[in-house]
Structure 1
């Protein structure tokens, strides 16, 4: 029986144990220590960010960015709808309102057209948002030149949720470094992992200094525990950062491996009737964290759910694309701006027909062949035709 082929599993190099052992040998197990400092320097060097703060999760990093922008009750934050809920939850932590923005077809990310309309309306209502959260989905960069220019026109800060796109570039620049703040995730399924964790980067080092302060319970400089504002326990542990140091050393290799996975699927599935690969925007380089495809549901006469069930029966894990947040029951009353008001939302169309394929950097060519052949067989079986 074919062993399970999972969507995206951790891929250790062996170097991680060296730094974890160092943490144990020096007894620095707390959220401080040489590993934390060193990994923050690695992130700065790799991304060319001005400053970085390691956090307990990518969600915590978004929360800190919003807090640094003084988001609170009565404020509004614009956020991409086509993303994991962690992009939006921190907005509600702070009691602010959300406006969701549709995707556009070329990147599946935030639509500059919809964003421009939303900001224009907000300006007319004298209620500009405190921030815009743009997401780089599955490793593909959003159209950052357009988005940053639109936000700059209205004086609105940009937070880049680059949780899925560490190692991806837009016009040669690392994602996460275009906005006022950028966040990365090191969750177990990401391109590199610390088991759980994240990072906040910023253009202004003073903002990161304040983030570190807030992330360590906002303890003031005093000979006793003095607290003058609310803080959080958001710093990454020195042990987890040890894993991260080893992972950062092989990040370029992991990016290359994920790109190879995408290219394999592109060669073997790109011309199969009924399958369309996630688009690649010119002047960008995606880390292809997950390889995503859409299925021609009308012509195939089947849903992604059927395809996923048949792939699961073959011991292959697949996943639907993100359910748009404006369709989530918890956000039922949130305003949503369409890419094109004359058509169904782009992100809704993608959700209805898209799936993610196994994309781990540790997949073998034999496993990729099995996934590709199985998917072709599933589609051919449903179409009742022979797939060559």
Structure 2
């Protein structure tokens, strides 16, 4: 917390604006739109709700196909199932760790042959790093298929000077407890067309028609953010640039200390600017990420595996997947070797040094054990 949240929360209580309507919601939406240089935004209950609304507005329905990044959290793809549509998963590339333009192109070529182009493409900006939007957008535009940017993890990141989430037709953000800024739980939608923003707001408020009584002509949702949570978001937004600097500083210390141990960090390729939501890396080939995580846990340090690719999840086992190189999945390699290191902005210098030394020791112990076995 920044320390300024209480002021906004108190104002919400003092003015009795508690429900999902009120001045903080309007203020948060305007301030986010200004930060993003976007036409407008709609504050919602979650990033998942934002994806769901985007798919609904695009007319995605039963039997339709939606292409989606495979290396991501399940929330990126669950809304496809809400619409009874069919997800098709696209691999990562080694340059950005995000959606592979090569794999996306092959998926489109096959879809055209099958005469079943996707209704939308969901491109995820993973761990705070932008996808290769120029190449990906060029492909999608050539087939006239709209793009939804899942920028849940990348608020504060950019691509060629443009904020992530504002390049495609729709952009979504998450304010969950662990994101760049938080409203405890919440999300936001932005869109190129103001008509889409108006429809999103309409659908998110149970799709109430203009009438002197409650009348409903289409299916709606209860997806609006509360005025209290929007107040928290306004205070958090004031500190976003500082958070990005802190996250990038944390990453830099890891990179300087651990690159010599054979660790490779998530790239920040030319033209991109990562907010480094999490510091993520791959371990040397002879190290098992779970062994390192377990060793860190024994020292009361929490670390995680990278996202398990969605095409490997039991929920999606019967859905199509296009690899970066046929028979050679980048996402699977990253899952096999990847680890997310502690990246909280409350991490003290002493704690950070302890984490780094413990990671080094975990790798050293593995190397030492290997050396002993090879001499037996």
- TM-score by length of structure 1 reads 0.94
Match of 2:186 in 1: 197
The 1-side partners of 2:308 and 2:145 are apart by: 27
2:356 to 361, 366, 372: 372
Q: Deviations for 1:283-342, whole angstroms, at most 9, x for unmatched residues?
A: 111000000010123xx3x3111100000001100000000000000101000001101x
The 2-side partners of 1:317 and 1:41 are apart by: 36
Q: How far has the Cα of 1:368 moved from its partner?
A: 1.0
Match of 1:313 in 2: 298
Deviates more, 1:195-204 or 1:274-283: 274-283
SS in 1 for 2:260: coil
1:16 aligns with 2:1: no
Match of 1:361 in 2: 345
Q: How far has the Cα of 1:344 moved from its partner?
A: 2.2
The 1-side partners of 2:87 and 2:208 are apart by: 30
Map 1:247-258 → 2, pairs under 5 A: 247-258=236-247
Match of 1:323 in 2: 308
SS in 2 for 1:271: helix
Q: Deviations for 1:347-372, whole angstroms, at most 9, x for unmatched residues?
A: 00000010000001121111111110
Match of 2:57 in 1: 68
Map 1:19-168 → 2, pairs under 5 A: 19-168=8-157
Q: Any gaps of 5 or more consecutive residues in structure 1?
A: 1-11
Greater relative contact order structure (CA < 8 Å, 6+ sep): 1
Aligned residues: 369
Match of 2:374 in 1: none
1:291 to 279, 294, 318: 279
SS in 2 for 1:270: helix
SS in 1 for 2:117: coil
Q: Any gaps of 5 or more consecutive residues in structure 2?
A: 370-376
Match of 1:243 in 2: 232
Runs of 4+ with deviation above 2 angstroms: none
1:225 aligns with 2:210: no
Match of 1:6 in 2: none
Match of 1:208 in 2: 197
1:384 to 368, 371, 374: 368
Q: How far has the Cα of 1:225 moved from its partner?
A: 0.4
SS in 1 for 2:55: helix
Q: Deviations for 1:172-212, whole angstroms, at most 9, x for unmatched residues?
A: 00000000000000000001100000000001111000000
SS in 2 for 1:256: helix
The 2-side partners of 1:166 and 1:235 are apart by: 20
Match of 1:279 in 2: 267
The 1-side partners of 2:204 and 2:23 are apart by: 18
The 1-side partners of 2:209 and 2:345 are apart by: 43
The 1-side partners of 2:346 and 2:193 are apart by: 37
Match of 1:304 in 2: 289
